[in-house]
Amino acid sequence: MQNLNIVPFVSVDNMMKLVLHVGVERVLTDLAACIEADFRRWESFDKTPRVASHSEVGVIELMPTSDGALYGFKYVNGHPRNIRAGLQTVTAFGLLAEVETGYPVLLTEMTILTALRTAAMSALAAKHLAPQGATTMAMIGNGAQAEFQALAFAAVCGVTHVRLHDIDPAATAKCQRNLAGSGLRVTPCRTAEEAMEGAQIVTTCTADKNHATILTDNMVGAGVHINAVGGDCPGKTELHRDILLRASIFVEYPPQTRIEGEIQQLPADHPVTELWQVITGAAKGRSDARQITLFDSVGFAIEDFSALRYIHDQLKAHPYSEPLDMIADPDDPRDLYGMLLRAKAKAA
């Protein structure tokens, strides 16, 4: 039984060791399965839009949820200008706790884990929404998330060919280099239009914190599945509004997506379908070969909960963590000050 006063802490180093030990593709498929299982019990979770603190340079957010037995939250930021200073655009850490005692049972880095869970979520949505037999994906935006997305779509959806484009050729070269040896056919492209040639799936994942038009209406043909990842806060979008009007739109949690997602461009009553309903069979996903499906992905706390739960379970077999003396443990729970006095006496 775990000593609840000592919390397992997964550092960046240990997260990398765990992921490499299990295997990146295996972790991605496991996370997709874990998220899918939790989406099937969607109604058992507390749900609230993330608590966001916006500034001119970025956003800092808390993403909490609970299934009644465990409580989890993630701290995450989004600062697009960080890249100019050699800093990550997105960083994160997370905590999992017992509801019964309120004691934490896991503290972990989530910068790497968020990249993995975001890619797993994208691939899970495509598994239910993309055209049957899709093998080619356009990856527009080749930053920190790109390789994870490509590998997740390969592992979960059977994608074999990725066409890359970024306004920064160095980012595309980086992505192509990192995917060498992955088994994927990788094609660098000079324009977004070129990247989309022959693609049945289009993933957009850019970092600019503005209303951008990464895809125009005339770029999107019938039957395509769009995985819109980059539009994830108020004022930040990637798709032309006319694409949304032609597409069947699927979202995680409408109260959050209407504020942060591509659909912030549409009236508040524009119809969308919650992805958990597709996964459980309560609503239809793709129903027509010519249908344009759009997963308006902003990230939701249940996905982070699934990732935290997965890591917590993995530590039982793969002990890539270190004990963190995080919770005070007085001899008498009512005598916290006495604990201080005893520490003072020992130090004297």
In a shared domain, residues 142 and 249: yes
What is the C-alpha separation between 243 and 80, in angstroms, rounded? 25
**pLDDT band, residue 230 (cuts 50/70/90):** confident
Tell me the mean pLDDT in the region 260-272: 94
β-pairing, 225-228 with 185-188?
unpaired
Structural domain includes residue 119: no
pLDDT reported for residue 139 = 97
pLDDT reported for residue 337 = 95
Q: Domain range spanning residue 257? A: 128-299
pLDDT reported for residue 181 = 93
Q: Dump pLDDT digits (tens) for 94-125.
A: 999 999 999 999 999 999 999 999 999 999 99
In a shared domain, residues 192 and 268: yes
Q: CA-CA distances (angstroms) from residue 71 to 4, 77, 94, 104, 233?
A: 15, 20, 11, 9, 24
Extract the tokens encoding 282.
Answer: 């309560």
In a shared domain, residues 184 and 167: yes
In a shared domain, residues 28 and 155: no
pLDDT reported for residue 209 = 58
Domains of the chain: total: 2
> What are φ and ψ of residue 192, in 5° steps?
-65, -40
Q: What is the mean pLDDT of the chain?
A: 94
Buried b (16+ CB within 10 A) or exposed e, 68-92: eebbbbbebbbbbebeeeeeebbbb
Q: Dump pLDDT digits (tens) for 286-334.
A: 999 999 999 999 999 999 999 999 999 999 999 999 999 999 999 899 9
In a shared domain, residues 98 and 226: no
What is the C-alpha separation between 8 and 104, in angstroms, rounded? 9
Instruction: Give the domain CATH number at 95.
Output: 3.30.1780.10
In a shared domain, residues 182 and 225: yes
In single-letter form, the type of residue at position 103 comes to: Y
Q: Dump pLDDT digits (tens) for 50-107.
A: 999 989 888 899 999 999 999 999 999 988 889 899 998 889 999 999 999 999 999 9
What is the C-alpha separation between 231 and 209, in angstroms, rounded? 8
Active-site choice (232, 242, 332, 335): 232
The answer to whether 232 is a known catalytic residue is yes
